Amino acid sequence: QQQVKQSPQSLIVQKGGISIINCAYENTAFDYFPWYQQFPGKGPALLIAIRPDVSEKKEGRFTISFNKSAKQFSLHIMDSQPGDSATYFCAASKGTYKYIFGTGTRLKVLA
């Protein structure tokens, strides 16, 4: 029940395309859902986050869609760029600092 399942494991997208990464959870007590972006040799960095009281949050080209009833949330990267090539992690927490991370999606955007 503590798991966060992330898919796909890897993703290749053409420049200008839409990248979509999905996460699913079981624990309905989770109340905070951040996405982290990690470049090779670097630590993860917070990209965008959402709480379950909204269904969508957009920041620039990055959008989180949240489906509370399905217990799923996804990251959409619009107009994907080669500079977006990185590993993306979703995470969830329930009222505390302790994040449960997904296994990551390696995104490659072709020029």
Contacts for 4 with CB less than 8 Å, ≥ 6 apart: 23, 24, 25, 90, 91, 92, 100, 101, 102
Q: Is 104 in the site for other proteins (CB under 8 A)?
A: yes
Q: Which stretch binds other proteins (CB under 8 A): 13-21, 29-37, 54-62, 74-82?
A: 29-37
1, 69, 70, 97: residue in contact with other proteins (rule CB under 8 A): 97
Residue 101 tokens, joined: 């991370």
Task: Give the dihedral of Cα atoms 51, 54, 55, 58; nearest 10 deg.
Answer: -80
For residue 53, the minimal CB distance to other proteins (Å) is 12
For residue 40, the minimal CB distance to other proteins (Å) is 10
Residue 80 tokens, joined: 């994907």
Residues contributing to the site for other proteins (CB under 8 A): 4, 6, 9, 31-32, 36, 41-46, 49, 51, 89, 91, 93, 95-104
